[in-house]
Amino acid sequence: MIAQLTINNKSIKVDLSKPLDISIPLGASDKNPIAWYLDQPKIEPVKDGEWIAKVSEGSSVNFNNIAFNPHAHGTHTECIGHITPEFYSINEILKTFFFLSEVITVVPETSGQDLVISEKQIKHLLNNKTPEAIVIRTLPNTNSKKNRKYSNTNWVYLLEEAAEYLKQIGVKHLLIDLPSIDKEKDDGNLLAHRAFWNYPEAPRLDATITEFIYVKNKIEDGSYLLNLQIAPFQNDATPSKPVLYEIM
């Protein structure tokens, strides 16, 4: 299905029958990716005495409880409420769902004992483009990202300067294939989150961060239409399903 759309006063054409899903599904198994020192998510049928809400156990329906943490168990989109004492809901913050985006692939730089993404790298890869959304794929990019156990691994992170640069050029939606844009153990400083959301000086309430994505190698760097789909949770973060479409 070919669609002609106008996004930010720019007319584009996309084939809606060819979505490029960059989310990681959430499952109740040890194959699920995990961060922040939690156990795997749980999806279990409701039980009431001897009755089990599972068709294979004799019930007329499957009726499951699900226990998970959006930040730790898969692709999620978060708003500034992640770092504020005031309550902000991603369901209230994110009002539109289609954005012109740029996919870039970054080879992290070594900084002491860390691997980081710098302002210089992002500036070079964007090459003067100022998209509303940016999708960052880090190398190496293997399938293991979809089930990796990230706790106590000191993952790659975004330097404060890089997040500051993205804010300055007007990027509103930042997507990355890591559990967090910040260093795993940073004493709660959250420098990249604070810089991107411009907190606390002049908070950007309409900006979002999506973490724990997976961008397949067959998806080339370049410009795409992004459909940022979220579940309507009244929470700072929610499971999400970002989908890219090639611009024709």
115: which strand partners? 110
Residues 176 and 210 sit within 8 Å (Cβ to Cβ):
yes
User: Which CATH class name applies to 2-27+70-246?
Assistant: alpha beta
pLDDT per position as a tens digit, 41-78: 999 999 999 999 999 999 999 999 999 999 999 999 99
Confidence of residue 99 (pLDDT cuts 50, 70, 90): very high
- Cα–Cα distance for residue pair 117/220, rounded to 1 Å: 19
Domain ranges across the chain: 2-27+70-246
Confidence of residue 3 (pLDDT cuts 50, 70, 90): confident
- Cα–Cα distance for residue pair 34/30, rounded to 1 Å: 9
- Cα–Cα distance for residue pair 2/15, rounded to 1 Å: 4
The mean predicted confidence, pLDDT, of the chain is 97
- Cα–Cα distance for residue pair 78/183, rounded to 1 Å: 17
Calculate mean pLDDT across residues 81-85: 98
Write down the pLDDT at residue 46.
Answer: 98
Write down the pLDDT at residue 105.
Answer: 98
Residues 6+ apart with CB under 8 A from 89: 79, 81, 233, 234, 235, 236
Nearest CA among 219, 55, 194, 63 for reference residue 137: 219
pLDDT per position as a tens digit, 134-168: 999 999 999 999 999 999 999 999 999 999 999 99
Write down the pLDDT at residue 187.
Answer: 96
pLDDT at 14 over 90: yes
